[in-house]
Structure 1
Amino acid sequence: MSERERSGSEGPAILFLIALCEGIALGLVLPSLPALYGRAAGTDDVAMVFGLSLGLYAVVNMLALPALGSLGDRFGRRPLLVLSLAVTAIDCLVIAYVPVLSVLLVFRAITGLTNSTSATVAAALADVTPVEDRTRRFGYLNACYGIGLFVGPFSGGVLSEIRLEAPYVLASALALTGVVLALRLPSRNGKALAEYGRVIINPLRHLPWIGAMGLVPVALVYFAVRFSFESPNALWAIYTTERFGFTPSTIGLTVSLAGLFYTIVQLFLAGPIAGRIGVTGMAMLGVGVDATSMIVLAFTSTAWVIFPLLAPLNFGNIAIPAFQSLMSRKVDSTQQGRLQGALSSVVALAAVISPLACSAVYSVTSASALPGAAWLLPSAVYALTVPIWLISRRSAKRGNAPPAGAEAR
């Protein structure tokens, strides 16, 4: 079978398996991560150390991803996937067996510099997927990560009680499995090297390019969606503990249920909803449900409400594949990696700003009459960005020029 034939027949399945391996690996390491960082730092108070590690990784990855995406357009997806997954496998073993904080931080930076798995998988999927099928397949791709969030924390918690390093060993093995899978992908996208643009190393070079493609308004709302998606990372455990008295096992249950709901939405609902109301309609529906759910979360004072609220909170995430699809339709196949790299930088920026902003607001308002005020931040970001997108769509229609995503109903 030729590489082109393999790309069309095996490509999506291989990419979904790679995403599943990465998703489970990410979920596995969550329960034991603070303990391992505490051991390396020599203290039980790991909040500052862990925050430094997260911030270092997010900033380096945000700066590196656009260049990595452009390199994928130039040289193909397979080399980037192999590099990213191999470094991740090494990083897991270093965190598990090298209890030296400086070494951990160095490897976190190296991993941030090379980790482009999710962006490269998304770009490769766009390469081999017809435009009309991209929303459905992006939904499947996101579902793979949701499965990891559902399966990983439970498994990681059990393994860490047997041996603290065990989840990281398994995560490393899963990353190496991803390397083997990536080697089955075609070495290139089936086009001549000359058809690809220059490699863009400076991440700031993508900003005028995004503007030239008419993607700034929709990219702003995509940032808002990711800001909301990232907000629980810093707040969920401490907020549910202090506000509702949740135990660690209860918190773990809510995280797993969230992963289950997220998977169901991405796997079974995203495609049919897009087919019924269009990709743009699905994006608007997701934003509306997400913003409303966050407002309810901010004002609720009853613990049991959290459990049914997990469903609409994760239903709102249908906006993620919708906006991915809207933007991918504005870019041809030679620039999908550049787009996904730029969008992954948006994700990384949200991953840096959202936890910091939400934590800062919570620290100020936790003892106030509205301790859940931090959950209003995502709705505030939506209120700032969605009107810009809607106005740009209206202006484009008046000028008889299709706005971003106008191909969809």
Structure 2
Amino acid sequence: MHRAPALPFLLVTVFVDMLGLGLIVPITPALLTAVTADPGTAALWSGLLGSVFGLLQFVAAPLLGRLSDRYGRRPVLLTSLGCLGVDWLAHAALPSPWTLLVFHAIAGACAGTNTVVNAYIADVTPPDGRAKAYGLIGAAFGLGFVAGPTIGGLLGTVDVRLPFLAAAALSFANVAYGWFVLPESRAGDRSTPLTLRTTNPISAVLDVLRRPVLGRLAHARLWSDVARMIHQSSWAFFLTYRFGWGTAQVGAVIAGSALAGALFQARAVDPIVRRLGDKRAAVAGGLVGVVSFAGMVVASAPWMLFVLLTIGVLGAVGAAAGQAWISRAVGDAEQGAVQGALTGIGALAETAVPVAGGVVFGWSLSYGNPGLIFVGAAGCAALSVLILAVTPQHTELRSS
């Protein structure tokens, strides 16, 4: 098998996936306002679209992961990218919010990119090189996050639907690129069971959580995801209320921190994980995250913010090390199934946390301290670190 084009394609895939999502971030409010003719209704539909996407991703991710084990990574990945392109076209062409909801639900059900990419890397990368590969994937994710909103904002000034057309074009171009370039990472195993129990999201998640080592790693991943989502959903509001910054300053800080994180993951993750090992690197990265979140509670001046952001960038090593550790604990025949279950767990956090975070942030404003919400983020990150610290280092390999 010719594996040389695989990692570059996966990096392009993650970059384009995040770029496509980022393109539409600054323009979605304007599009939905134009469709609904009411800003309040537009905000309601925006939240509904996001929640439905996350819910359908939770429902379908275990199935997509198991399909990639049974039929191969390549067809599932290309199908997921194609569905996302169709969703963006629907945003550009269809005026009804209900139609957008249907297509966005379909896109959520097909959102298997992260699941298959993580499984593909485990297929083609030796265990001691996976942290580096996952670090590069994180860097591509961050660069897409930086570029997407900037380009989307510029295209949106020309036409409100143009960013969606651009996102669709990128998705379809990536499908074409993968069709001709991407090799299959492992032959599908037709003996992989496809039953109601194995593809049911609840059963798939519980099967992962019940396992001694992998279950602990999944719990740690869940609490880390919750901490990340608390930060992500409230970050722009925090900067606005704590420092009185406008959209340009907020955007610059978000883009700058994302770019710094991408560069760090691309260059520094591999040597750190090689020196410390997966477990110690994951614990160290998590502890750095706890310090960064806790510091945000009392950050009262921009210089304190920038110090904490610098510290937070170093914590990116934890995610790559944790993902590499998980991949070591999973047998080759079930990488897709496990990654699908983990994607489902993350989708639940992405569905529920923004709503709860909005309520908590409003409560924190009533006490005059918008940073109080980061107490919850620090607590969840600390719980994740504690679970990692007590998890045995040895691997746990099992076939489905």
Indicate if the aligned counterparts of 1:254 and 1:307 stay in contact, CA closer than 8 A.
no
Provide the residue aligned with 1:86 in structure 2: 82
User: How far apart are 1:369 and its partner, in Å?
Assistant: 4.2
Matched letter for residue 358 of structure 1: G
CA contact (8 A) 1:31 1:153 kept: yes
Q: Which digits, 9 at most, give the CA deviation of each residue in 1:11-33, with x for residues without a partner?
A: 22222221222122122111111
Give the Å deviation of 1:338.
Answer: 0.9
Q: Distance in 2 between matches of 1:129 and 1:62?
A: 27
1:218–1:404: 8 Å Cα contact kept in structure 2? Answer: no
Shift of 1:88: 0.8
1:344-355 pair list within 5 angstroms: 344-355=343-354
1:28 maps onto 2:23 in alignment: yes
Alignment partner, residue 119 of structure 1: 115
Measured in 2, the distance between the counterparts of 1:233 and 1:50 equals: 16
- Please give the alpha-carbon distance, in whole angstroms, between the structure 2 residues aligned to 1:279 and 1:78: 28
State the partner residue of 1:368: 367
Aligned to 1:191, what secondary structure does the other structure show?
Answer: coil
Structure 2 residue identity aligned to 1:40: V
Deviation string 1:3-60 (CA, Å, 9 cap, x unpaired) is x2x2x22222222221222122122111111211222222122332211111111111
* Conserved 8 A contact 2:73-2:186: no
Partner of 1:205: 203
Q: CA deviation at 1:81?
A: 1.5
Q: Partner of 2:220 in structure 1?
A: 221
* Deviation string, structure 1 residues 156-193 (Cα, Å, up to 9, x no partner): 11111122222211111110122112213667544363
Q: CA deviation at 1:131?
A: 1.2
- Paired residue for 1:263? 262
- Residue matched to 1:107: 103
**C-alpha contact (below 8 Å) 2:20/2:168 kept by paired residues:** yes
**What are the ranges of 5 or more consecutive residues in structure 2 without an aligned counterpart?**
none
Picking from 56, 60, 67, the partner of 1:71 is: 67
CA shift for structure 1 position 238: 2.1
Amino acid at match of 2:199: I
Q: Which residue of 2 aligns with 1:340?
A: 339
CA contact (8 A) 1:392 1:403 kept: no
- Structure 1 gap ranges (5+): none
Counterpart check, 1:159 vs 2:155: yes
**Percent identity for Structure 1 against Structure 2:** 28
**Equivalences for 1:51-70 in 2 at 5 Å?**
51-70=47-66
Amino acid at match of 2:154: V
Secondary structure of the residue that 2:199 maps to in structure 1?
A: coil
| Displacement of 1:344 | 0.8
Task: Give the total of aligned pairs.
Answer: 393
With over 3 angstroms needed to count, the CA separation of the structure-2 counterparts of 1:40 and 1:16, relative to structure 1, is: same
| Whole-angstrom CA distance in 2 between matches of 1:289 and 1:221 | 15
How many Å separate the matches in 2 of 1:233 and 1:385?
Answer: 17
2:135–2:320 CA contact under 8 A, matched in 1 = yes
SS at match of 2:80: helix
Once residues 213 and 119 of structure 1 are traced to their aligned partners in structure 2, the CA distance between those partners, rounded to angstroms, is 22
2:14 is paired with a residue of what secondary structure? helix
Alignment of 1:9 onto 2:7: no
- Give the TM-score, by structure 1 length: 0.90
Q: Distance in 2 between matches of 1:317 and 1:386?
A: 14
Residue identity in the other structure for 1:302: A
Contact kept, 8 Å, 1:213 with 1:330, in 2: the verdict is: no
Q: State the shift of 1:296 in Å.
A: 0.9
Report the equivalent of 2:301: 302
Q: Is the 8 A contact 1:359 1:374 kept in 2?
A: no
Letter in 1 for 2:112: S
1-structure distance, mates of 2:275, 2:213: 26
The corresponding residue for 1:97 is 93
Look up the equivalent residue of 2:49 and give its one-letter code.
S
| Equivalent residues of 1:221, 1:385 under 8 A apart | yes
Shift of 1:219: 1.2
**1:235 match:** 234
> What is the deviation of 1:129?
0.9
Deviates more, 1:318-327 or 1:16-25: 16-25
**How far is 1:74 from its partner?**
0.4
Structure-1 separation of matches of 2:63 and 2:313: 31
The 3 A distance-change label for structure 1 pair 123 and 344 is same
Kindly provide the CA deviation profile for residues 96-129 of structure 1, in whole angstroms up to 9, marking residues without a partner as x: 2322111111111111111111211121121111
2:71–2:190 Cα contact (<8 Å) kept: no
Q: What is the CA–CA distance in structure 2 between the aligned matches of 1:282 and 1:391, rounded to whole Å?
A: 14
Match of 2:33 in 1: 38
Separation of aligned partners in 2, 1:86 and 1:338: 21
- How well do the aligned residues superpose, as a CA RMSD in angstroms? 2.1
321 and 251 in structure 1: CA distance in 2 versus 1, 3 angstrom threshold: same
Distance 1:232 1:63, change over 3 A: same
Instruction: Give distance in 2, aligned partners of 1:61 and 1:70.
Output: 14
Distance 1:119 1:364 in 2: 35
How far apart, CA to CA, are the structure 1 residues paired with 2:70 and 2:263? Answer: 35
1:123 is matched by which residue type in structure 2?
A
Distance 1:72 1:43 in 2: 42
> TM-score if structure 2 supplies the norm length?
0.92
Instruction: Trace 1:265-304 onto structure 2 (pairs within 5 A).
Output: 265-304=264-303
Q: For 1:325 and 1:212, locate their aligned partners in 2 and report how far apart those are by CA, in whole Å.
A: 17
40-49 or 140-149: bigger deviation: 40-49
Superposed displacement of residue 315, structure 1: 2.4
C-alpha contact 2:205 2:345 (8 A) present in aligned 1: no
Give the partner amino acid of 1:349: L
Q: 1:314 to 1:228 in 2, by over 3 A?
A: farther
